[in-house]
Each structure stands twice: as C-alpha cells, then as structure tokens.
Structure 1
C-alpha cells in the first residue's frame, strides 16, 4: 500500500533554514543546542527526529511550535515565520497533559468551546471511538492506565483539527507492549486523519516503525547527520521482515550504535 505522502506531490508544510538555538545564563558559558538545522517537512508527512537524549530534538520541536524563540535562521509554517503558539499546531507531551478533574469526555471536548452542543458531541464521540476509549467516556484520569491517558491526550489534540501534530516522546513513559500498541494505533490515526506529524524519539525501533523519513541528529550542538527515507517500507510494518531489519540496522549504524551486544 502506498503511503499518504506518495499519493501526490504535497506542498511543504514546515521549512527550517539554518535554525539555531543557544541557551545562556549570566555568569555561565553559553550552550549552543542547535546549529544550522535545514529541513523541509511535506504536508501530511510523518517525520521522526531521532537522536541521543539531550541533543536538542525537543528544543527544535518547541521552536517549531512557537514555545521557544529562535536565535538564528528561520522556521516557517506554510511560508509564514513561526511567531508563537498557534491552535493549528498542537503538542502532545511525554507527560500526561490532561486535566485530572475532568472526565475523558470533557478532556477531549475541552478545546471545542464556541461549537454547538451537537457539534461538540459529534466531534468528541468521533475521537473517543478513534482511539478506542468507548465505555470510558465518564472515567477520570485516575481510573485510567498510562496508555489510556496518552490516548486521551492524542484524542484531545486531534479534536481541535490541527494542521500539525508535534509529539515529544509521547510513549516514552509506557511499558514496551503498550508502546507497540499505541504506535500501531497512531499510524492508523495518521493515515485516516492525514495530519502532518513531527515525532521526537531516541528509540531506534520506534523511529523505524513510525517514520516515512527519519532525521538522524548529532549530539549537542545538534545538526542533521543524515535523513533516512523509509517511505518504501509499507504500513503496517512487519518488524520481522528483512526490509524492516535492514532499515533498523541502517539507523543503528547512523547513530553509531552496534547491533551486537
């Protein structure tokens, strides 16, 4: 099956040119976190940012989302410079960024103020079903597993119909089986909803399972070492296939990690 981005020639959604970030504090040496990042992300594309912990991946994502200022170069969305947060671009964090005093239903419908009751009901129902939380509509976060909480976060992000979904290691705090299930579910959601996704991870298997392209970043200050095109690897991806293993081993090699222990 052909991937979303292969069905047509999509326009560029996110464009980074020479993106740079330096953190400084009075009396301390400046720390260059990002150095000259150039990257284009196509509309509806799923791109993983892969690199060692602390290399600056999350900082780059925060800059794209408008949460962090840019110190050099440019980052543009649809040709317009990023000036700050925008409701068309939604963030999903590793921590469960949902309201503990609200039910699943109310969390997912939270961003739908201004819609009619009928519209809010229809949208909330759609995304509850999409992430497989039927029967838990009136449950509170304390009654949910970690994976279920993260599905609430994904559903709430999608409910406001964003153009871009920024995901910062959203499954990092979950057990391995839950991570596998949520990765599979995320791919199904992405293919159905046709969103642009920028996904930060330091997990090579996760990047191999999810990304159409994987941007391999160096240690700090982060630069792009290489971009590995996995668009020829069909979804759903068979982790036991020779093609998958070859792609994963390529990423291990680019990260400078041995596949032998």
Structure 2
C-alpha cells in the first residue's frame, strides 16, 4: 500500500530512455520476475518446480488473499501469463506487446545521443523534481536528436517500510503494508502515440489524465500487485507520457502521471 503515505520528495531532475533508433517501450529497471529485494513476503519467490504452482484466477474484490506465504503471488502471475496479449488501440493510443510510438521527424536514424538529464530543463521533456511517491531516483538520462531533446526518463525505486515484515508477521496483509515497488516515468516527443507493454489485453481501459486521453493498464491484483501502466497523449504538444509501475497502486500511478504532465 503506497497511497496516502508519502510526502513528495526532492529528487534529481531527469532521465530518459531513448527512442530514436529503435525504441519500442522503455526500460523497467527491475525485471518483473527478477530481483525482488524490496518485496515483502516474497510474492514472486520461485517455486521448487512447475508442478508446485497452480494458476489462480483473479479473485473478486470481496475474496480474501492469503499473503502470508512466500511465493503467494505466483499462482496469480501464472494465471495472468495465460491471458491474451495483443496490440490494440485504447483512446487513440496503441498499446500491446509490439506497440511503439511513431517518432515521425523528431529523430532520424543515427542522430540520437545520450545527454545529461539537465538538458531537458525548460523543454516539454523536463520532469518535475517532486513526485507524489517517495523513492530513490536511478537511471537518469536524456536523449537529444539534432537540436532537440526528444526523450527523458526517471526510475524510482521505492523501498519498503522498515516495519513491513513485522507488520505482516503480526497478521497484516501485503496490501496493507508499505511493501515497496518501482515506477518508471518516460516522456517522449512523438508523431503518434504507442507503448510496448506486457499488461494483459483485458486489463487495458480508456482513462483521462489532466483532461487528456489516456490508456490505463491495471495491475494483476487489487489495482496494485504486479505490472501496471498509464500512457497519456498530449497531441497539442506532440508529447507522450508513460508511467509504468511494479507493485504500485493505481491511485499513485495516476497521481504521478498528472504531475509529469505539468
């Protein structure tokens, strides 16, 4: 649970993922099935063998979820992996496994170069120095094509509360403690919006952020556990803002997107 707990934290400006030569989506730092040092109660702990995992369908809102066991999240992840994934257009934004933005004339092949993230200041790609979640910034960089900054990215690693494990040992659910997670924010200048994501097709829906059209990909459980994303298209500024979350509540995801659009 990350919402309603964190005051904004000053952080270094910037970052980016480049999109010029072959951008499809953006890096997500910690892989979904990779290092989980920040996770509490090992929701993705590897089972001893494939037979140990029985896929479980997404529970209803009123259903109980036992998060006390190591690897409790694996059955839900396995069930989610079996869901269809395909490219589709949500609110005019293409999303899916092979979706990508149309860069248009913003960046020609061979022009892209990494630059200091500070060069994005004062441009449409600048990122605010405060966000409505608390985290440690990483992977800070920007991309220049010719005379323009065309992409900027920041990754936030959100640590768990020092008391999270003790709280769970005392009976609290993973969803009730500050369990940690990750957020990646990407801003790009594009001719047409698109975003590569492994969020299941059925979890995508239209949304609105700051009055702009958006595509929202919800997490696997309780709008919080697993990968989620929101992609916003500002046609007037040729600006796409994408926020990818891992174990981040949808309220925080949308709040970050609103802030990044300022």
TM-score of the two chains, using structure 1 as the length reference: 0.23
TM-score of the two chains, using structure 2 as the length reference: 0.23
Greater fraction of residues in helix: 1
